[in-house]
Chains A and B, each alone.
Chain A
Amino acid sequence: MNAPNTSGWRPAMGPAGDAEAGLATASGDRGLMVEEPLIFELGAGNGCGVDFDQSGPEPLPLPSLSRFLRKSAPALPGLSEPDAMRHYTRLSRQNYAIDLGPFPLGSCTMKHNPRLNEKTARLPGFADIHPLQPQQTVRGAFEVIHQLAHWLITLTGMEAVAMSPKAGAHGELCGLLCIRAAHDARGSARRVVLVPESAHGTNPATAAFAGYRVESIPGTADGRVDLAALKARLGGGRDSDVAGVMITNPNTCGLFERDMRAISGAVHAAGGYVYCDGANFNAIVGKVRPGDLGIDAMHINLHKTFSTPHGGGGPGSGPVVLSAALAPFAPLPFVTRDTDGTVRLVEEEDAPADGPQTFGRMAAFHGQMGMFTRALTYILSHGADGLRQVAEDAVLNANYVLRSLDGVLDAPFGGSGPCMHEALFSDAGLPEGFSTLDIAKGLIDEGFHPMTIYFPLVVHGAMLVEPTECESRQGLDRLIASLRAVAERALAGDETLKSAPRFAPRRRLDETRAARKPVLTWQGHVQPPAAPSLSETGGG
């Protein structure tokens, strides 16, 4: 085996403490556990998986291009198709996925992707259409977009929805561009956007990208927005320089912003608009309508609340619901239904009649159809009552996790009342020398993907666990038992935890060195450093 990776557990090592650890196999692999080389280290490098035409290259259509001709063959691995397939399939078996176990990443809402969604998304009428097809041939697709839009508007109590944004952060930008267009329309040149300390990192980034100066609003000791500080910064009246406020509700401390209506009222009184980061909508879907809280714009991550795959197979989808005040500025194109029932697309040529105040276009087409079909399938298969139960179960599960770890992990806002969809812990109770990272790595040994760590930044050594409604009571109990066991090892000063994971395909990686000196290309010519002895890596 010529793999240069010298750290970590190998199949041949066996589990730590295994009496058979000294037994070796001829291949270096162990049963179905394989040590997979890099693809460049497989094969002789001169093979090819495709039977190309051997008659030689075509003549160049333009002689001036000849200076771009390669002088040497590209250094491709040169594998047969089955060898390449097996390489990636073997690697995939070392990966972790939502189809293998819980993914308790706080703030990410990693929920099961129902297979019914996949079935409808693959119907040829949705899967095999093209955005440039004549409109009359894709009325069914428009109907899906329009129905989904209707559900999103109804669930959020808003006036309109922009369906074209490609992801949450793209949706944030859409919302802020609507806010800017609304200010422009009334001749106000406000330049400041306020963002709470506990905001998602994308919020200030989006505001800056949209041309605003970002100022932060402090939080209170119980983990919510400081309303008094916000009011003081807004100033009294219409001459405020604040264009808007970006708030996440429920927030990243897993808490519902109880003062949301007062916050919205204060922002509106000062002539600003309220953007809500809808990343945590899963906790309140069917229970609370953001429109009733005075929110003017909110993106909805279809891959979170509405169960579509994260990333969407490229791109994702982040529709933005808009209040009556911002709806006229929504981007093109959008689907509308005429009085005769026809659904059609409003594009630039229709804008003077159908959307005269639109801020323009932020995507080539009308949105990510594959995510729309999946999200609508999810919504229709749950119904309004089922969606309400999603929120109830997600919140119940998070509170079950929060309270089940009382006594072993510090919950900084445990006294602020029940949490929403995610349980937040800190490193406060861990003994000297043990960190949040140790808990996360220990969870890998237990066979779970770790929770979100070191976020939100307002909590020291944060651990943010979002179980979602998808986990059964038994599944939650297994996760809790593992988290508790790992935390108890830390509390007992178990030094072996500091070198976790011990049973994963790789031991603890040097994340600092990976960030400082990243190796991003194949270094075939570089001699690997000498392998540390087994006792050093603790692998025997």
Chain B
Amino acid sequence: MSRYFTRDHEWIEVEGDTGTVGITDYAQGQLGDITFVELPAAGQAVKKGDSVSVVDSVKAASDIYTPASGAVTDVNHALADEPELVNADAEAGGWLYRLKLSDPGELGGLMDRAGYEEYVGGL
């Protein structure tokens, strides 16, 4: 099981051929209070870099770009009533969606936690 990060502040936790995607704690802090999360549909095929979800906060609406390609298998239904979960627990309980990875090789271009922390430190 390993976790990767994008420059757009998404994370993906990979276990076998399943990836769980969310936004980083840094991202939720920058967005402020999150008021609504628009999730992809289960079954939807997504391509790495596609805008597949939108996170609305009191400050802005932000596109979420999928860190990997595949088919969406599940979404975090709890966010419909409690979008604040993303603020409270961005990197665990506030996950957005899961997908079955079609090309695990894509993960090679992403950062690990140390790389991401160094990247954020430079922002």
Most B CB contacts (10 A, CB to CB) among A454, A511, A516 go to A516
Q: Which residue of B lies closest to A512 (CB)?
A: B33
Report yes or no: A516 in contact with B84, Cβ–Cβ below 8 A: yes
Interface of B is mostly: loop
Interface membership of A470, Cβ < 8 A: no
Interface membership of A346, Cβ < 8 A: no
Interface membership of B18, Cβ < 8 A: no
Report yes or no: B58 in contact with A511, Cβ–Cβ below 8 A: yes
Interface range on chain B (Cβ under 8 Å from partner): under 10
Report yes or no: B60 in contact with A457, Cβ–Cβ below 8 A: yes
Interface membership of A50, Cβ < 8 A: no
Interface membership of A44, Cβ < 8 A: no
Report yes or no: B35 in contact with A512, Cβ–Cβ below 8 A: yes
Interface membership of A515, Cβ < 8 A: yes
In the complex, chain B residues whose CB is within 8 Å of the CB of A512:
33, 35, 58
Chain B positions 70 through 98: 1 when the CB is less than 8 Å from some CB of chain A, otherwise 0: 00000000000001100000000000000
In the complex, chain A residues whose CB is within 8 Å of the CB of B33:
511-512, 515
A-B contact count (CB 8 A): 17
Report yes or no: A515 in contact with B59, Cβ–Cβ below 8 A: no
Interface membership of B36, Cβ < 8 A: yes
**B65 CB, min distance to chain A CBs, angstroms:** 11
**A411 CB, min distance to chain B CBs, angstroms:** 20
**B31 CB, min distance to chain A CBs, angstroms:** 10
CA distance A101 to B122 in the complex (A): 42
**B88 CB, min distance to chain A CBs, angstroms:** 13
In the complex, chain A residues whose CB is within 8 Å of the CB of B83:
516
**B115 CB, min distance to chain A CBs, angstroms:** 21
In the complex, chain B residues whose CB is within 8 Å of the CB of A511:
33, 58
**B37 CB, min distance to chain A CBs, angstroms:** 11
Report yes or no: A515 in contact with B60, Cβ–Cβ below 8 A: no
User: Which residues of chain A have a CB within 8 Å of any CB of chain B?
Assistant: 454, 457, 511-512, 515-516
Q: A511-B33, A515-B35 are in contact. List 11 more A-B contacts (CB 8 A).
A: A454-B59, A454-B60, A457-B60, A512-B33, A512-B35, A512-B58, A515-B33, A515-B36, A515-B58, A516-B35, A516-B83
- Between A and B, 9 residue pairs with Cβ closer than 8 Å are A454-B59, A511-B33, A511-B58, A515-B36, A515-B56, A515-B58, A516-B35, A516-B36, A516-B83
